[in-house]
Homo-oligomer: A and B are copies of this chain.
Amino acid sequence: MLQSALSFSHTLLSNAVKPGDRVIDATMGNGHDTLFLAQLVGDSGHVDAFDIQKQALTSTNGLLEKNQIAKNTYTLHQASHDTIAKTVPASEPISAAIFNLGYLPGGDKTVITHKDSSLNAIKQCLDLLFPHGLVIVVLYYGHEGGVEEKNAILQFASQLDQHQFNVMTYQFINQVQAPPICLAFEKRK
């Protein structure tokens, strides 16, 4: 069966991330991606995860503890994802970053990400990538302002220098509910 965009984003992360890597969850939300990344990098790696909502940190911390993830494997930041460059030292490059942009699925559609801070955060993660590292963006856009954010990010992505990055989209094109798009940036060298 064809994978959903969300499931495909995890397949891509599994291929890009290995034990000991440093990685970023730019949109912590309910913490599922933070847990997934923590399991990929293992005790010798590190996940920095970001969310502006205190509730996200509480939920994520609970999920990580429940799954017995070692405390030194992760740092949860109550901060916007566009503060990543201030937080993660450029001397410690990452093999992957994941974004879920739009609203939290199943959550409050009025709490959404915004194109300017999202674009800034994506650029900050691109700057931190190792060669062949991936920045993955799962774009939800079935909400007010969602199409505008999606279009801004796809326009930025389509204009990136092909000698620096490969930019790929994976999406379903015949569905009325605007299912998410999986967008992946691979640093070439």
Question: Interface of A with B (CB < 8 Å)?
Answer: 1-2, 12, 132, 134, 154, 157-162, 165-176, 184, 186
Besides A158-B174, A168-B172, 17 more A-B contacts (Cβ < 8 Å) are: A1-B132, A1-B186, A2-B12, A2-B134, A2-B168, A2-B184, A2-B186, A154-B173, A160-B174, A161-B174, A162-B176, A165-B174, A168-B170, A168-B171, A168-B173, A169-B169, A169-B173
Give the complex CA separation of A131 and B2 in angstroms: 12
What are 19 A-B pairs at a CB distance below 8 A? A1-B132, A1-B186, A2-B134, A2-B168, A2-B186, A154-B173, A157-B174, A158-B174, A161-B174, A162-B174, A166-B172, A166-B174, A166-B175, A167-B172, A167-B173, A168-B172, A169-B169, A169-B170, A170-B170
CB distance from A181 to the nearest CB of B (A): 10
Query: Contacts of A165 on B, CB cut-off 8 Å?
Result: 174
Number of this chain's copies in the assembly equals 2
CB distance from A154 to the nearest CB of B (A): 7
Give the complex CA separation of A58 and B151 in angstroms: 48
Give the complex CA separation of A176 and B179 in angstroms: 27
Query: Contacts of A161 on B, CB cut-off 8 Å?
Result: 174
CB distance from A120 to the nearest CB of B (A): 19
Whether B171 contacts A169 by the Cβ 8 Å rule is yes
- Of the listed residues A2, A12, A132, the one surrounded by the most CB atoms of chain B closer than 10 A to its CB is A2
CB distance from A75 to the nearest CB of B (A): 28
| Residue from the list B159, B167, B168, B174 in contact with A167, Cβ < 8 A | B174
Query: Contacts of A134 on B, CB cut-off 8 Å?
Result: 2
Give the complex CA separation of A2 and B171 in angstroms: 15
The 10 closest A-B pairs by CB, nearest first: A167-B174, A158-B173, A162-B175, A2-B186, A160-B174, A170-B170, A158-B174, A162-B174, A168-B172, A167-B173
